[in-house]
Amino acid sequence: MKTKWSSAFLRSLAFLFLVTPAFSAERTFRLLTVEINGTKFWLPSTLVVQKGDTVKIEAVTKLEGASAIHGLSIPEMKIQEVVDNKSRVFTFKADRAGVFPITCHLHPPHIPSQLVVLE
Ligand SMILES: [Cu+2]
């Protein structure tokens, strides 16, 4: 008897997930520039959001001196920021689905990250 109740409960829960419409939300990420063995990149390297979400990024570098200044660019979202060791916050709307590179426009050889916007 207990198994039947649990099964019905799980089916109801699955139904709720299927009929509940996706709605946009604010997604917040904290990105850091790091250097490992002479290679610089942003961490986390992948940001995943839903189309329509408002994306809030707090970016900062943890590197010292002149190498503390880096770019954070997502051209498809019209984002191009210069970031140093003071926290910088910016917001944009993920208005189209796809996989978009996040690069340092000041130093193109840096390893790109990616923004994944799900449909
Ligand atoms: Cu850079």
pLDDT digits (tens, 9 = 90+) for 83-107: 998 989 999 999 999 999 999 999 9
Q: For 5, phi and psi rounded to 5 degrees? A: -60, -45
Compute the distance from residue 82 Cα to the ligand 1 centre, in Å. 9
Give ion ligand 1 contacts, CB < 5 A. 70, 104, 106-107, 110
What percentage of the chain exceeds 70 in pLDDT? 82
Compute the distance from residue 54 Cα to the ligand 1 centre, in Å. 25
Compute the distance from residue 22 Cα to the ligand 1 centre, in Å. 36
Buried b (16+ CB within 10 A) or exposed e, 28-55: eeebebeeeeeebbbeeeebebbebbeb
- Tell me what pLDDT residue 74 has: 96
Q: For 13, phi and psi rounded to 5 degrees? A: -65, -45
Distance CA 33, CA 83 (A): 9
Q: Where do the domains of the chain lie, and which CATH numbers do they carry?
A: 23-118 (2.60.40.420)
pTM of the model: 0.77
- Tell me what pLDDT residue 4 has: 58
Sequence-distant (6+) residues with CB within 8 A of 57 are 28, 29, 30, 31, 47, 72, 89, 90, 91
Total number of residues shown for the chain: 119
Residue with tokens 């610089």: 40
Compute the distance from residue 110 Cα to the ligand 1 centre, in Å. 6
